Copies of this chain bind each other. A is one copy, B any other.
Amino acid sequence: MATIPVVEKITKANDQLAVLNRRRLDEHGIFAMNIMASPGAGKTSLLELTIPELADGFRVAVVEGDLATNLDADRIDAVGGMSVQVNTGGGCHLDASMIADALDRLPLEELDLVIVENVGNLICPASFKLGTHTSVLVASVPEGDDKPYKYPSMYRGVEALVVNKIDLLPHVDFDMERFRRGVENLNEGIVSFPLSCRTREGVDAWVNWLAVLAKQHISR
Residues of A whose CB lies within 8 Å of any CB of B are 2-3, 6, 10, 38-40, 66-69, 71-72, 90, 92, 119-124, 127, 140, 142-144, 146-147, 149-153, 165, 167-168, 171-173, 198
Contacts and interface: CB of A to CB of B under 8 A. Distances in A.
Nearest to A170: B171
B149 A39 contact: no
Copies in the complex: 2
Contact of A168 (B121, B149, B168): B168
Contacts of A71: 146, 149-150
Residue picked from A3, A92, A168, A173, most chain B C-beta under 10 Å: A92
A90 B123 CA distance: 7
A38 B72 CA distance: 18
Residue picked from A40, A119, A121, A146, most chain B C-beta under 10 Å: A40
Contacts of A146: 71
B39 A69 contact: no
A140 B40 CA distance: 9
Given A10-B3, A40-B144, A142-B140, A120 B150 contact: yes
A150 B67 contact: yes
Contact of A38 (B38, B119, B168): B38
A158 to B, nearest CB: 15
A186 to B, nearest CB: 10
Given A3-B10, A152-B67, A39 B142 contact: no
Given A39-B122, A121-B123, A168-B171, 10 more contacts: A38-B143, A39-B144, A40-B144, A67-B150, A68-B152, A71-B146, A120-B150, A120-B151, A124-B124, A140-B142
8 contacts: A2-B6, A38-B40, A40-B142, A68-B150, A121-B123, A142-B165, A171-B171, A173-B198
